[in-house]
Structure 1
Amino acid sequence: MRNKIIRSFLIIFSLSFVIGFGILYGVLYDVSLNQQTSILNDELSIIVQTNFEESQQIGEELFDKDTRLTMISSDGEVLYDNFDDSINENHLQREEIKEASKNGTGSSVRYSETMEQNYLYVAEYDAQEQTYVRLAMPFSGVSQSALMLLPSFFIAFVIAFFFVWLMSKRMADSILKPLQEISAVIRKADFGKEKIEFQNYSYSELQEITDALQTMNNQIAKNLENLEREKQIRQEFFTNASHELKTPLTSIRGYSELLRQHAITDPDQIDHCLDCVLKESDHMTKLINDILTISKLEAKDYVVQKSHIKLKDLLENVLNSLSVQAKAMNLDIDASCENVTVYANLDHIQGILYNLISNAIKYNKPNGKIIIIIKERLDNILIKVMDTGIGISKEDQEKVFQRFYRVDKQRSKIVAGTGIGLAIVKHIVQFYNGSISLKSKENEGTSIEISLPIMVNEEPNNLD
């Protein structure tokens, strides 16, 4: 890369030097041509004012100055030429003659076969004599001067080339050195596991590179941290899931062995054992279904069957299914639900209501109260469940939405549950791009508020 930078600089310099010399040559050529043309025009004006004999005398004098005088008739015949008196060629097609015929004066530069060199021709039409008077002199532009200047030009080129090479080398080093430093830091760096520090560079482009690398390193560190946290969550999930599944299986196996060995003969005790087996089977089935529900919600290609749901009717069904538990604790439930319809999956919305209300009952205090509010807010549906229960500590509030997390460890042994209900609620809310918030204070109660953008503005007529 260093050699390429230097080579590019030298090529650009060489091209610029050559182009500049060409432009200078062209300018000097035009200046020389205009100067010589002006001189010939001045001499030509004097000759036109003389008669034919005087013009011939002037021609003889001009011969010594290597200036050619030609007099041409209006039909193109050469009447006089001080260099060659045997010209028979018609001159009307000469550029300077044609231009003089139109404009009175004309000029051109061309190679003269008679004189075997380039000449500058200037012609003027003498209306009184009806002849064209033409002066010509050798013209080489600035070629001769350029040849004289060529050695100086070459020396200047070599000196400038050397300085450009030296400057390009220093510039290449100044650019590549920071890149080499950045590369050295990158090779030694353990991305995502340590902080990367670069020097401050004067080049804004290099500073952008180092800033981007630091940002990338921070992002990698964040991703690694998330992966480690997810790893721990998965580990805890499998550990808790295994434990939750093992507990009912142990009970089922124990009761089954008692029945298989005929250790129990009393019909009432046999029925009790069978009831316990069925209860634990239901518990295990619910746990498996909850895990499957979360897995489906986490899948990006998960497609659900949606329908129009009347929230008031759904809330009544959920409250009826939980009425026995609520009465057992003598709870006062105040439910307020607007007559609104949403478009979503029935199991999802039912799962949100069931889990929130079920938790409000389980973790409430005897003779406590539950307030349920469902209403329209802007284009969203607001679901809010408040209780006067045991509350949740600040330490636990960030963890309650994790799978299998149980707040009250002692009470969890008494209160049935999988510790996965709020995790399901959170995943459902995220699936519908909604929001969920929790406020709680120990021994005073808990409030959970959910907002979902599933509002139906016009209720369908075919809902039953």
Structure 2
Amino acid sequence: MTKRIFRSICLVALTVFLASVVLFMGVLYEYFSNVEQTQLKMQTTLAAQGVTNEGIDYFHDLKVKNYRISWIDTEGNVIFDSASDTAEMENHLEREEVREALSSGYGESKRYSATLMERSFYSAQKLDDGTVLRLSISQNSILTLLLGMTQPICIIFVIALILSIVLAIQVSKKIVKPLNEIDLDNPLSNEGYDELSPFLRRIDSQQRQLRGQKAELLQKENELNTIIGSMNEGMILLNQKGKIISINPAARKLLDAGTDCIGSDMLSLCRNLELQEILTKALHGERGENIIRLHGESYQIDADPITSENIVKGAALFFFNVTEKEKAEQIRREFTANVSHELKTPLHSISGYAELLKNDMVKENDKIPFAGKIYDEAGRMIRLVEDIISLSHLDEGADDMQRENIDLYTLAEKAVQSLEPEADTVCVALELSGVPAPLNGIPQLLYSVIYNLCDNAIKYNHENGKVMVNIQNENGMVVLSVEDTGIGIAPEHQERIFERFYRVDKSHSKAVGGTGLGLSIVKHAAKIHNAKVDVKSHVGKGTTVIVTFPK
């Protein structure tokens, strides 16, 4: 703006200067022309008086420098001319000033010569004898005068230019200074030009609107960042060129990306071909999804195009960890297959024995053993179905079961007492030790934990072996320990023993009547009570299962 003001002031100053020069020269030129015409008339009058008194003798020894004198008779012939030979001169009767002098006694005229670039003034007066005396003088044209005054005009022009520049700089700074000092953060507090008041009021109004919009946008941005920042699922927003414009912490961790990945190409972070395929679809307006492996886990990736006015502006990627879902699906399939297999075996036995009895193909002495076989297999099926129902109930969270303040040691006493007959049958000593341990929990589930652990310890023990149950209070925790001197568990099986229907020794498990669901029930019941289960075992030396409950 300063430059524009500076140029405008300089242009105006120079324009005024040039206009002044032209006007001044024109006015002066016209003024001096009139003065010169007046003087010429006076000189003509004086010369006419001299010629009237002396006649042609007046011109003898007359020295005239600037004037030209012509004496013209009544016929227009030149009698005398101070500048030219009268014999060669043409008739002057038609000259304007001569005609006026002959008719009115005095005449004058002005003529311009383009060849000589000068203007001539003529003044003619009629004498008493009817002749005409004419005086003329030449005057340079205004253009000639300007050319002659080029040097002083140039000097004046340079001086005027310098003054214009200096004044323009000072004036432009003075004009712009209030504008430069405007406080746009507080428009209404400025003191300056009144003409700027509507503009400043408009700025103040717009700033209030912008501040409100900014606060609203910041709030929404903070809300969005809080939401996507707390998401366990990864989320990435991309522009239409596949560049990252937003990424939440979960996605950065998943892709091992730093905080400086904004603006990077998505495929530079993850070169997975399946990801590239669904990303390409999304950027072309098609929704894509697939499951890929990252860091040893399975992730479902959903890619949705982001459109505006039917134009794809980018894409949104969502990463869902489906490892547990896949495991659960696998466990469900295995569970279904195992349940079918576990139920099919006793059903075949029951069906076979029943068919023999139905067809009276059994001796009378064998009917009671056959009925005992059917009873045992039916009981095994009942236990299996009951365990399946209990496990299903635990999967749902057991929300309908009431929690109570109980003593885990008392529950352990009941479980040990109920299992003593079974332990005596296989010659296994069952011992309980410890101290009272108050705990808030679900009695049925806590009892099932103790019962199943002790039942397994008895079944998978050696003859004349021991099972030691201990209850302790340690550092605000209740610790249940079930130790046996049984067959033990190999290290490669220890992590899987809590899976449904998983058996280390299937033949032995069936021989002792296990359903394969006892430890699964223990695991789920412990999980409901936020308890931790640890297993320590050595093959041939025994197993210790420790369950730690928070009080």
Q: Taking structure 2 as the reference length, what is the TM-score of the superposition?
A: 0.45
Specify the SS of the correspondent of 2:514.
coil
Quick check: 2:489–2:538 contact (8 Å CA) kept in 1?
Answer: yes
- CA shift, 1:212, in A, is 9.3
Q: Aligned residue for 1:246?
A: 344
Quick check: 1:432–1:452 contact (8 Å CA) kept in 2?
Answer: yes
Whole-angstrom distance in 2 between the partners of 1:21 and 1:360: 98
Q: 1:204 to 1:263 in 2, by over 3 A?
A: closer
1:270 is the counterpart of 2:367: yes
Q: Aligned residue for 2:536?
A: 439
Q: 1:301 to 1:420 in 2, by over 3 A?
A: closer
Whole-angstrom distance in 2 between the partners of 1:276 and 1:211: 67
Q: 1:263 to 1:422 in 2, by over 3 A?
A: same
Whole-angstrom distance in 1 between the partners of 2:421 and 2:268: 62
Whole-angstrom distance in 2 between the partners of 1:414 and 1:373: 28
The C-alpha deviation readout for 1:348-391, integer Å capped at 9, x for no partner, is 01111111011111111111122111122233211001111111
Q: 1:207 to 1:375 in 2, by over 3 A?
A: farther
- CA shift, 1:347, in A, is 1.6
Quick check: 2:380–2:513 contact (8 Å CA) kept in 1?
Answer: no
Quick check: 1:436–1:448 contact (8 Å CA) kept in 2?
Answer: yes
Given residue 372 of structure 1, which amino acid in structure 2 is its aligned partner?
V
Q: Aligned residue for 1:205?
A: 262
* Equivalent runs, 1:333-372 vs 2, <5 Å: 333-372=430-469
Q: Aligned residue for 2:328?
A: 230
Which segments of structure 1 move beyond 4 Å, counting only runs of 4 or more? 141-146, 178-181, 195-198, 207-220
1:410 is the counterpart of 2:535: no
Specify the SS of the correspondent of 1:375.
strand
Q: 1:208 to 1:433 in 2, by over 3 A?
A: farther
Q: Report the more deviating stretch, 368-377 or 207-216.
A: 207-216
Specify the SS of the correspondent of 1:360.
helix
Q: CA RMSD in A?
A: 4.1
Quick check: 2:413–2:432 contact (8 Å CA) kept in 1?
Answer: no
- CA shift, 1:321, in A, is 2.1
Paired residue for 1:281, among 375, 378, 381?
378
Q: Aligned residue for 1:430?
A: 527
The C-alpha deviation readout for 1:301-358, integer Å capped at 9, x for no partner, is 7331233433333223222222233123322333103123333222201111111011
Q: Aligned residue for 1:174?
A: none
Whole-angstrom distance in 2 between the partners of 1:385 and 1:225: 32
Quote the sequence identity (%): 32
Q: Aligned residue for 2:108?
A: none
- CA shift, 1:395, in A, is 0.7
Given residue 326 of structure 2, which amino acid in structure 1 is its aligned partner?
E
- CA shift, 1:145, in A, is 6.2
1:399 is the counterpart of 2:496: yes
Q: Aligned residue for 1:305?
A: 402
Unaligned segments of structure 2, at least 5 residues: 10-166, 177-237, 245-250, 272-291, 300-319
Quick check: 1:296–1:302 contact (8 Å CA) kept in 2?
Answer: no
Specify the SS of the correspondent of 1:304.
coil
The C-alpha deviation readout for 1:24-62, integer Å capped at 9, x for no partner, is 99xx9xxxxxxxxxxxxxxxxxxxxxxxxxxxxxxxxxx
- CA shift, 1:255, in A, is 2.2
Q: 1:262 to 1:449 in 2, by over 3 A?
A: same
Q: 1:217 to 1:386 in 2, by over 3 A?
A: closer
* Equivalent runs, 1:34-73 vs 2, <5 Å: none
* Equivalent runs, 1:372-387 vs 2, <5 Å: 372-387=469-484
- CA shift, 1:289, in A, is 1.6
Specify the SS of the correspondent of 2:413.
helix
Q: Aligned residue for 2:486?
A: 389
Whole-angstrom distance in 2 between the partners of 1:318 and 1:382: 16
Quick check: 1:434–1:451 contact (8 Å CA) kept in 2?
Answer: yes
- CA shift, 1:292, in A, is 1.7
Specify the SS of the correspondent of 1:239.
helix
The C-alpha deviation readout for 1:69-113, integer Å capped at 9, x for no partner, is xxxxxxxxxxxxxxxxxxxxxxxxxxxxxxxxxxxxxxxxxxxxx
Whole-angstrom distance in 1 between the partners of 2:440 and 2:400: 14
Given residue 356 of structure 2, which amino acid in structure 1 is its aligned partner?
L
Q: 1:302 to 1:180 in 2, by over 3 A?
A: same
RCO higher in 1 or 2 (8 Å CA, sep ≥ 6)?
A: 1
Given residue 228 of structure 1, which amino acid in structure 2 is its aligned partner?
E
Paired residue for 2:358, among 260, 263, 287?
260
Unaligned segments of structure 1, at least 5 residues: 1-16, 29-140, 151-177, 185-191, 456-464
Flag the structure with higher strand content: 2
Whole-angstrom distance in 1 between the partners of 2:416 and 2:255: 57
Whole-angstrom distance in 1 between the partners of 2:507 and 2:372: 25
